[in-house]
Amino acid sequence: MQNLAMHIANGIIDGPVAAAFGAVALFGLAICLARGRGDLDDRLAPLAGLVAAFIFAVQMLNFPIFTAAVSGHLLGGTLAAILVGPWVGALCVSVVLIVQALVFADGGVTALGLNITNMALIGTAAGYLMVVLLLRVLPRTNTGLAVTAFVAALVGVLAASMGFVAEFALGGAVDLGNSISILAGTMAGTHLFIGIGEGLITAVTVLAVARTRPDLVYALRKLPAKTPAKLVVPAGGVT
């Protein structure tokens, strides 16, 4: 059951599929690098380093789900996307995953492309798309931003977990049961609780930044502005 905790170890997915998703990850990161260069400036560059360091630290802390055999941790894609944008955010998560795999043996080296695809690309993209949608319909108050961060992070975790299900369907190399539908249900159920934890951490972190420096929240700066009365304001202001 421990293999259901998101990081894919060596040998869970067969070689050809792992290699194919390695190519997918490289292609995706090349796009993120090209697009992210336009976002990096004197304000965003140091924040990206802080975000990567925060994600790395929090990912080292696992919390149990149901039993000690299944654990979860912050993926960080949605958090990074809200603060530094989806392109730079995906790069931040990828750097964390690479360091974890090469230095701490957390996630297999041969599965690095799979993990980057799921957590850095799929998770970040799904989370940020939900951010864009919700910030168009919810008031941009502190409460609205917190709800947006929570829901988007939850969606990002579930999307990343379904990435693993698709990869296992293409090239599963170990016995995780005879039914992909059962595996998908188990992954979704487990990561629903992981996503709730991630959503709470993401909402609290984003709200803390927005209350003190809303200009550092990428999602608020880049999306079309609403009326000033609805914008997130520092703590103590009118919401």
Give SS3 for 13.
strand
Residue 228 to residues 81, 138, 210, 223, 237, Cα–Cα distance (Å): 23, 14, 15, 14, 13
pTM, two decimals, is 0.86
Q: What is the mean pLDDT of residues 76-82?
A: 94
Helix, strand, or coil (residue 118): helix
| Matching residue, tokens 């990343």 | 160
Confirm if 114 and 28 have CB atoms less than 8 A apart: no
With a cut of 70, say whether residue 99 has pLDDT above it. yes
- Summarize pLDDT for 130-182 with one digit per residue, the tens: 999 999 999 888 899 999 999 999 999 999 999 999 999 998 888 777 688 98
pLDDT at 98 over 80: yes
H or E segment to which residue 68 belongs:
strand 67-72
Q: Which of 20-29, 99-108, 152-161, 197-206 has the lowest mean pLDDT?
A: 99-108
Structural domains of the chain sorted by starting position, each given as residue range(s) with its CATH number in brackets = 9-223 (1.10.1760.20)
Q: What is the mean pLDDT of residues 186-214?
A: 90
Q: What pLDDT, on the 0 to 100 scale, is given for residue 1?
A: 39
User: What are the residue ranges of helices labelled H in the chain?
Assistant: 15-36, 44-59, 77-84, 86-103, 112-115, 123-137, 142-171, 180-212, 218-222
The arithmetic mean of pLDDT across residues 223-239, rounded, is: 51
Q: Can you give the pLDDT at residue 221?
A: 84
**What Cα–Cα distance (Å) separates residue 137 from each residue in 141, 176, 220?**
12, 40, 13
The conformation of residue 7, written as its DSSP 8-state character, comes to P
Lowest mean pLDDT across 68-77, 116-125, 217-226: 68-77
Give the CA distances from residue 205 to residues 40, 54, 113, 153, in Å, rounded to whole numbers and listed in that order.
21, 10, 28, 12
Residue 105 has what pLDDT? 78
